[in-house]
Chains A and B, each alone.
Chain A
Amino acid sequence: MRVTQSMLSNNMIRNISNSYERLAKLQEQILTQKKFSKPSDDPVAAMMGMNYRTSLNQVEQYSRNISEATNWVESTDSALGQAISALQRMRELTVQSSNGTYESDQRDSVNEEIKQLKQHLVDIGDTQLGGKYIFNGYDTNKRPSDTMVDGAPSYGTDEIQVEVFTGIKIPINTSGQSTFGEALKTGGTIDQLMASLKSTDEADITNRLAELDEMINVFIKEQAKVGAKQNRIDLMTDRVGQQEVFAQKILSSNEDVDMEKVILDFTTQESIHTASLSVGAKVIQPSLLDFLR
């Protein structure tokens, strides 16, 4: 083939510009730490990347939801714990007052304490988490003790559910009605106990003990349920946490560059580029003209 100067120089320009293009591509990869910047750079990876991102986002969202659920469950647990100790104090006082050794003014002070404890239960029933009343079903913005029915606070019964994984919803609240509602209702055990203390009927007070035990049991059962819920949520936390790591790993292996490889490629390309420049300079220079005198 006949080769001319213009062919050589065109060839050289083309090769050098290709070489620049490769350098630019590698530089972009190093700067962005991504294998591709446009879907056409690697259509399959781009499409997979979009799906991976979506699932990563979802997993991250679920872990946010789970931490919200944990907040609820933990506050519920501690509120129920407080309620139980209040009830247990009530039981202690009841036992003390049932053996007939107390004077009437001592019974009055017991009565007073029980009244305070009842108020304490009402306060616990009004527990708020981030401004939300957690024992009031859907009516999270209403204070249960403000909505009195028959002279006692009433509690909502709806279940507030949180999605902790695709299609898996956990009810995060505990109905206040079956616990606080029952305990505080007008004419309920506590009211009767206070009435018995006033009337100094010891047998009657003893009768209340069994009822109090029943009531404490209800709270303990509810707390156990919350504990089970807590366990379930902990399991979900682990699972979602693993998923998150996994999703991040897939996403990263799909689109993040292998730094050592890219830097090595870049260095190789750089030396190729330098070589082609110097070869170009040597090839273009001499022609017959340089030797004709």
Chain B
Amino acid sequence: MVSTFMGLETSKRALSVAQSALYTTGHNVANANTPGYSRQRVNLSATESFPSPALNSPRIAGQLGTGVEAGSIQRIRDSFLDSQYRSQSSKVGYYSSLSESLTKMEEILNDPSESGLLNTMNNFWGSLEDLTTNTDNIGARAVVASSGQMVAETLNYYYNALTSVQEDLRYQIGVEQSGINTIISNIQSINEKISKVEPHGYVSNDLYDERDTLVDQLSQFMNVKVSTVFPEKYGIVDKAAAEGLYNIELIQEDGSSYMPPINLISVNHTGIVGVNNIEVQTDSATGAISGVKIGSTTLQDYKFAGALTGLIESAGYVEDGTVKGAYPDMLQKLNDMTEAVVKEFNYVHSQGFVVGEPPTNGGNFFEITAGKNAAQTIKVNADIIKDPSLIASGGKSNAAGDNENAHHLAAIKSKDFTQYESGNVPAGLNGTFDTYYAGVIGNLGVDSASVQKDHSNAQILATSVDKNRQSVSAVSLDEEMTDMVRYQQAYNAAARMVTLVDEMLDRIINGMGTGGR
């Protein structure tokens, strides 16, 4: 026999399940625009039917269904797409920070343009040509001095602007270091919360979403691999719906693990082991990045991609005792170039003669501070600015019209670095000043363009993976509305069932046992 009130019980369950399904629908609609939110579904399952097979089970026709229950509320998400997205996202981060810093470099160098170094340099060479035709004209001399000063100032500006961006990049590395550590500790604290909820059989969907959003953020800074762990002491949990704890490993650009593996958050069968914060270390002598310390390991290859690597590769890092990276390389090139030209120019200048009595050789035209950065310290000899007649234009005499050395000075523009007579030209310089510098700018352009292209490609891929992810997890209002109609009707129908049972009970209670009345 089944209980008199069983129909009511069944309907009550249906009502409450329809209600929780409606509430979940409401939750989905409410979070339709929440970033990182994944839609949730109530897993409905029929309750155990009656009678259950047992020795003393009643001998009735069976089994009779007893209604519905809400098994669990699960978020709908594909962890495979998550890991795909994260590996793209770390590439986006890497190329975005690299392309940003290279674009800044291009903006500072500002070539080809009317105000770039090349044009300033051309003006300087031009003023020397003018000097060859007007050696005794004090105006032409003043123009040489002041256009030389413009060259020096342009180089100073380049050097200082590049180093100040480099400083900004280093500062940004510090900011990102603390950002990364904050994200790690936030993930850790969510891990802890989850470890308190899951063993009780609950599924904390919103915490999962929050945790995944944080991991997404982390993946912009460095390439990470997430694996889920159910510690042994968890006991029996619904592993289909529960997600367990996140173990987060730092991996290389190509997706391979470091040997031994480096964990940012370690979780094992005993539970949460701990977190490893990152610490970016700086070489005190050069200010360049000397390593990234994670827990007890110090990495020096920065192959973990992400924005942090992009910044480190821009701002400069120490490798095999030398400083490398986009900014240090450019500064080095500017210094080498400046040093070579200054030395050659001074050499040629000092071979010439100054106009006037007694015949004297020219001094240094440009001045650089020995042992310091040439591009930063270059300036025109103050005496020459004060008195441009000190420019040594004469080749063999102190006569006003002797323009031989002016020719030699102007000819430096078309001289190969290898032909420089002053000797000791820094290694790696080739071609004339013009072609070398055009090459430097060309290379910068190519690098920057290719990084920008990589950035937009990575972004397109990330967007398409994200679209797939959205396709699985995002809330569709149409769908929710349909569900709402569905569950609302289910609720109505269950309520109708209650009325039916009520009417049946009315028949039993009020309409029966009154025979003859």
Please report A residues at the B interface, Cβ cutoff 8 Å: 1-7, 10-11, 14, 38-44, 46-47, 49-51, 53-54, 57-58, 60-61, 64-65, 68-69, 130-132, 136-142, 156, 158, 160-163, 166, 169, 173, 255, 287-289, 292
Contact = CB atoms under 8 A, between A and B. Distances in A.
A228 B135 CA distance: 25
A2 to B, nearest CB: 5
Given A138-B400, A139-B400, A292-B481, A38 B107 contact: yes
Nearest to A14: B463
Contacts of A3: 471, 476
Interface string B462-485: 010001101110111111011001
Given A138-B401, A140-B400, A292-B485, A54 B452 contact: no
Given A40-B449, A61-B129, A140 B441 contact: no
Nearest to A54: B434
A57 B126 contact: yes
B103 A38 contact: yes
A140 B102 CA distance: 52
Q: Which applies to chain B's interface (DSSP): helix, strand, loop or mixed?
A: helix
A150 to B, nearest CB: 21
Interface of B: 32-33, 102-103, 106-107, 111-112, 118-119, 122, 125-126, 129-130, 132-137, 355, 394, 397, 399-404, 407, 410, 414, 434-435, 437-439, 441-442, 444-449, 452, 463, 467-468, 470-472, 474-479, 481-482, 485
Given A4-B471, A39-B442, A53-B118, A288 B434 contact: no
Contacts of A10: 470
Given A141-B400, A287-B477, A53 B122 contact: yes
Contacts of B32: 5-6
Nearest to A60: B126
Contact of A7 (B106, B118, B447, B467): B467
Contacts of B403: 160-162
16 contacts: A2-B471, A4-B475, A6-B32, A38-B103, A40-B445, A40-B452, A51-B438, A53-B118, A53-B119, A64-B129, A68-B133, A131-B136, A162-B133, A287-B477, A287-B478, A288-B477
A140 B399 contact: yes
The residue in B355, B394, B471 that gathers the most chain A C-beta atoms within 10 A of its C-beta is B471
Contacts of A131: 136-137
A51 B441 CA distance: 11
A102 B102 CA distance: 93
Contact of B472 (A2, A160, A166): A2
A53 B441 CA distance: 14
A243 B472 CA distance: 65
List 6 A-B pairs, minimum CB-CB distance, nearest first: A39-B445, A47-B442, A43-B445, A140-B401, A138-B399, A40-B448
